[in-house]
Amino acid sequence: MADKMNLLACFLFTCHIYLVFSNELARGWGNDIAWVKLDDGLIQAKKENKPVMLIIHKSWCGACKSLKPKFEASQAIKEVSQEFVMVNAEDDEEPGDSKFTPDGGYIPRIFFLDSDGNVLNDHYNKDGNSQYKYYYYSPDHIVKSMKGVLETLKSGNTATNEEL
């Protein structure tokens, strides 16, 4: 009985350590989501043949602070995020590649990438402002784009920066 209790305690401790590490990258965007850094995410996406969802934000940004709790509270985002490699790039982690500023450097921006790391240009906030395509203010709009990405990838019909 003591061995089973020790085994259970070790298992629970391991789970706790995993959650603490995962939550470190959540930064208020959802502790139940398996967040990774961009470089790790690109490797994982290739290995698992999954699309990437990349959130670019700043810790001081009012719009980012407004979206965070809505994003975190969305059960639909949590569920659909399991089909993605989720990347949370804050402050200095913002990638410098121009493919992540196609219509400006405003924040927050959310991009979807294929498993090869190419931006899926056809997937942006179609319900938002056409001048700021990658700006989202509603979890419903984010989920709509996430589901659109999954449908597009299933059909094999994608347009990326590389092709444009």
Above 80 in pLDDT, residue 86? yes
What are 10-62's pLDDT values in tens digits?
Answer: 444 444 444 444 579 999 999 999 999 999 999 999 999 999 999 999 999 99
CATH of domain 2-155: 3.40.30.10
What residues are paired with 54 via a beta bridge?
A: 87, 111
As a whole number of angstroms, the distance between CA 74 and CA 78 comes to 7
- Domains of the chain by residue range: 2-155
**C-alpha dist (Å) from residue 78 to 32, 89, 113, 132:** 7, 18, 18, 25
> Residue 16 — φ and ψ, nearest 5°?
-65, -45
51's tokens: 């699309």
Q: What letter represents residue 17's amino acid?
A: I
